[in-house]
Amino acid sequence: MAEALLFYTLAALILGLGVMVVSARSAVHSVLFLVVNFLLVAVLYVTLNAEFVAVIQVLVYAGGIVVLYLFVVMLVNLKKAPERFSDPRRLARSGLLLGGVVLALIVVVVSSSLRAGMASEGTLSGFGTPFTSGNTEQLGWVLYTSYLIPFELASMLLLVAMIGAIVLAKRHLGD
Amino acid sequence: MLEITPLHYSLLSAALFMIGVIGVLVRRNVIIIFMSIELILNAVNINLVALSDQLQDLAGQVFVVFVIAVAAAEAAVGLGIIIAFYRNKETVNIDEIQIMRW
Amino acid sequence: MLDTVVIPLLKIAVLVNAVLVAVTFLVLMERKVIAWAQSRLGPMRVGPYGILQAIADPIKLILKEDITPVKADRHVFTLAPIMSLVPALVVFAVVPFGPDPLYYIGDINVGLLFIISVTSIGVYGIILGGWASNSKYPLLASLRASAQLISYEIAVTMTLVSVILTTGTLSLVGIVEAQQESGIWFAFIQPVALVLIFIGGLAETNRAPFDLPEAETELTGGFHTEYSGMRFALFFLAEYANMIVISAIVVLMFFGGWLRPFPNIAFLGFLDLLPAWIWFVGKVFLFLYVFIWIRATLPRYRYDQLMSLGWKVLIPVAIGNLVVTGVFKVVF
């Protein structure tokens, strides 16, 4: 009962804030709603026994990436007339497309969850490490053994992105 | 209704995904489009974590860590491009980003 | 019901009030210590030796007119101080004041990461405060302040990783217990990390010599120039609460938290007569004194010096410390 209440409250807030992010007129307000949205998603992770991922969500997403967005919004969008939304034809087209997307998503979700329900007898989870609550150590273990090469690739990706961002943001190369 | 199953999380995730897609399609401000993409990534993450809990398999959470790393890389490069673009054309409206060079 | 709701709520109420009262007296302490350093008397009028100044200051701030600039973004302008104070208070949820579950609200197994991530939210208060004022100087100051905060956060987090390597746990209770077991404060095992975290903490709390975001003697007042009354008081509270947080982290990680000095020497057992939380609070106030002492002693850095110190000294040293710790961990 309490669990259901918590889930529905969180879900309603997450979706509501998502809508606010997309519909807010001012980009700074958008960023603010996005932060709160991410914090609530982190709370959702805690309810799913994923403390480490929740903390990383707050630390990297809310505390890092979104600060970057806020910086860029403040650099770019200081004195601007409110943005015009798209023309109605494009809205109609996006509406149609979205209808399709939603339908496909719901079909996929329902069918896959049915399959997951059938597989919950215990055949599916032979792949990784089973976990208990308080899983930081196990997550680190899996990350540095089974997923070592993806991990290294991710760090290379971050390095490349860092260099790329510096090159892009620098006014003139060579000074 | 009162028992929360992975289906509930998947539907939440689908709805959030949809909101993100609407944002990408409807908004013209590049920065807000980027934020909508972050929403989409979060929708995926919710699904991964929920199924990781359901199947008692850490792989889902490992994927979330990777998704967050890739999102950080994407934000850094994407916002770098936006800054470079703004410096040249003084706009962040995506409709005006239409020529490959100038 | 009693154990899961009522007692934690009571603890939260007590803790929040304790922190806020501690902050008011910290301000008084700062004024007195700086006065002493400069051969002055400091506040003397309110109460004996000016002790009641700690109560007079907040009353003044609350009663002052609370001005919102005409062109400000009203909602964000109000939200910004709240966003800067709340993370500073939330951190105390995982700070253990003693070994017993009575002395902390929660001991979670990602305690240290929780503190890092929650404090990283505090930067929003500063950025949004500067932006919402819709005024040039607060905006520039807030950009500078947040750049400073983010840069030093990297160094501090990297350093914390090397300490985590030594302890093998992220739980704050676990870290103190690890020091009890090894019988030595980590200050002696990780001295470089201690120095790095202390410098980083000074920068993250915008304290002298890194108080460029609000250098009163040079700038108009930084990101909170347009703030007055209660909303200014919230920023003020947040800054001092963050000082307490940094001191608490330093004490927990390097100076044995609630442990008495030399926890492994038996004949000093009489020191245990003092309750654990008094040791903890005493050590925290010792470090707060060091903060104030540094403010009274050192001149302010220039902004480019500050940035090059962060990026070219602290971060490389932190990485070096991490590597050395790892090598030691593998070899021994």
Identity of the residue in C108, C120, C127 whose CB atom sits nearest the CB atom of A70: C127
Q: Mean pLDDT across the stretch A136-156?
A: 90
Q: Mean pLDDT across the stretch C147-151?
A: 86
Query: For residue A124, what pLDDT is reported?
Result: 39
Amino acid of residue C29: M
CA gap B50, A31 in Å, rounded = 26
B93 forms bridges with which residues in the sheet? B29
Q: Residue A134 and residue C109: Cβ atoms within 8 Å?
A: yes
Interface contact B38, partner A, CB < 8 A: yes
Interface contact B96, partner A, CB < 8 A: no
Query: For residue C135, what pLDDT is reported?
Result: 83
Tell me phi and psi for residue B93, to 5 degrees: -80, 125
Check whether A78 has a pLDDT greater than 60.
Answer: no
Query: For residue C133, what pLDDT is reported?
Result: 87
Identity of the residue in C73, C76, C110 whose CB atom sits nearest the CB atom of A52: C110
* Alpha carbon distances (Å) from C276 to C52, C112, C171, C174, C242: 28, 21, 18, 16, 22
Interface contact B99, partner A, CB < 8 A: no
Query: For residue A34, what pLDDT is reported?
Result: 94
Report residue B56's pLDDT band, with 50, 70 and 90 as the boundaries.
confident
CA gap C189, C168 in Å, rounded = 14
Which residues of chain C does A31 touch, with a Cβ-Cβ cutoff of 8 Å? none
All residues at 6 or more sequence positions from C75 whose CB lies less than 8 Å from its CB, including other chains:
none
Query: For residue A84, what pLDDT is reported?
Result: 57
Check whether A27 has a pLDDT greater than 90.
Answer: no
Q: Mean pLDDT across the stretch B30-55?
A: 91
Q: What is the DSSP secondary-structure string of B6-71?
A: HHHHHHHHHHHHHHHHHHHHH--BHHHHHHHHHHHHHHHHHHHHHHHHHHT-THHHHHHHHHHHHH
Check whether A127 has a pLDDT greater than 50.
Answer: no
Q: Residue B62 and residue A135: Cβ atoms within 8 Å?
A: no
Which residues of chain A does C118 touch, with a Cβ-Cβ cutoff of 8 Å? 58
Interface contact C110, partner A, CB < 8 A: yes
- For the A1-80 domain, the top CATH level (class) is mainly alpha
Q: Mean pLDDT across the stretch A24-51?
A: 91
Burial of C139 (0-12, 13-18, 19+ CB in 10 A): buried
Q: What is the DSSP secondary-structure string of C176-243?
A: HHHHHHHTS-HHHH-HHHHHHHHHHHHHHTT-TTS-GGG-TTTSS-GGGTT--HHHHHHHHHHHHHHH
Identity of the residue in C124, C128, C170 whose CB atom sits nearest the CB atom of A136: C170
Check whether A118 has a pLDDT greater than 60.
Answer: no
Q: Find where tokens 């909170």 sit.
A: C224
Interface TM-score (ipTM) > 0.85: yes
Which residues of chain B does A18 touch, with a Cβ-Cβ cutoff of 8 Å? 15-16, 19-20, 39
Choosing among C79, C113, C142, which should be mutated to test the A contact, i.e. which has the most A CBs within 10 A?
C113
Which residues of chain A does C156 touch, with a Cβ-Cβ cutoff of 8 Å? none
pTM, whole model, 2 decimals? 0.88
Interface contact C114, partner A, CB < 8 A: yes
* Chain A residues whose C-beta sits inside 8 Å of any chain C C-beta: 26, 28-29, 32, 35, 39, 51-52, 55-56, 58-59, 62-64, 67, 70-71, 74, 134, 136
Q: Residue A55 and residue C124: Cβ atoms within 8 Å?
A: no
Interface contact C223, partner A, CB < 8 A: no
Interface contact C117, partner A, CB < 8 A: yes
Q: Where are the domains of chain A?
A: 1-80, 134-175
Query: For residue A92, what pLDDT is reported?
Result: 66
Check whether C41 has a pLDDT greater than 50.
Answer: yes
Which residues of chain A does C121 touch, with a Cβ-Cβ cutoff of 8 Å? 35, 39, 58, 62-63
Check whether A123 has a pLDDT greater than 50.
Answer: no
User: What share of chain C has pLDDT > 90, as a percent?
Assistant: 32
Chains C vs B: touching, with 3+ CB pairs under 8 Å? no
Q: Residue B2 and residue A1: Cβ atoms within 8 Å?
A: yes
Q: Residue B76 and residue A68: Cβ atoms within 8 Å?
A: yes
Query: For residue C284, what pLDDT is reported?
Result: 93
Contact B28, A22 (CB under 8 A): no
CATH architecture of B6-96: Orthogonal Bundle (1.10)
Query: For residue A40, what pLDDT is reported?
Result: 95
Identity of the residue in A69, A86, A127 whose CB atom sits nearest the CB atom of B26: A86
Query: For residue A88, what pLDDT is reported?
Result: 60
Which residues of chain B does A155 touch, with a Cβ-Cβ cutoff of 8 Å? 69
All residues at 6 or more sequence positions from C89 whose CB lies less than 8 Å from its CB, including other chains:
C16, C19, C241
Interval C1-16: pLDDT, tens = 677 788 889 999 999 9
Query: For residue A45, what pLDDT is reported?
Result: 92
Report residue B15's pLDDT band, with 50, 70 and 90 as the boundaries.
confident
Contact C84, C241 (CB under 8 A): no
Identity of the residue in B8, B22, B64 whose CB atom sits nearest the CB atom of A53: B64
Q: Residue B19 and residue A22: Cβ atoms within 8 Å?
A: yes
CA gap A74, B92 in Å, rounded = 12
Name residues 43-82 of chain B within 8 A of A (Cβ): 45-46, 49-59, 61-62, 64-66, 68-77, 79-82
Nearest CA in chain B to A101: B18
Q: Quick one: angle between helices A148-169 and A136-144, nearest 10?
A: 90
Nearest CA in chain A to B62: A143
Two structure tokens written together for C12: 């939260």
Nearest CA in chain A to C145: A71
Query: For residue C198, what pLDDT is reported?
Result: 92
Report residue A128's pLDDT band, with 50, 70 and 90 as the boundaries.
very low
Chains contacting chain C through 3 or more C-beta pairs under 8 A: A
Identity of the residue in C79, C110, C139 whose CB atom sits nearest the CB atom of A55: C110
Query: For residue A125, what pLDDT is reported?
Result: 40
Q: Quick one: angle between helices C229-254 and C123-132, nearest 10?
A: 160
Q: Residue A98 and residue B57: Cβ atoms within 8 Å?
A: no
Contact A110, B7 (CB under 8 A): yes
Beta-carbon pairs below 8 A across chains A and C? 62
Which residues of chain A does B16 touch, with a Cβ-Cβ cutoff of 8 Å? 14-15, 18
| CA–CA min distance A92, chain C (Å) | 34
Q: Mean pLDDT across the stretch A98-117?
A: 71
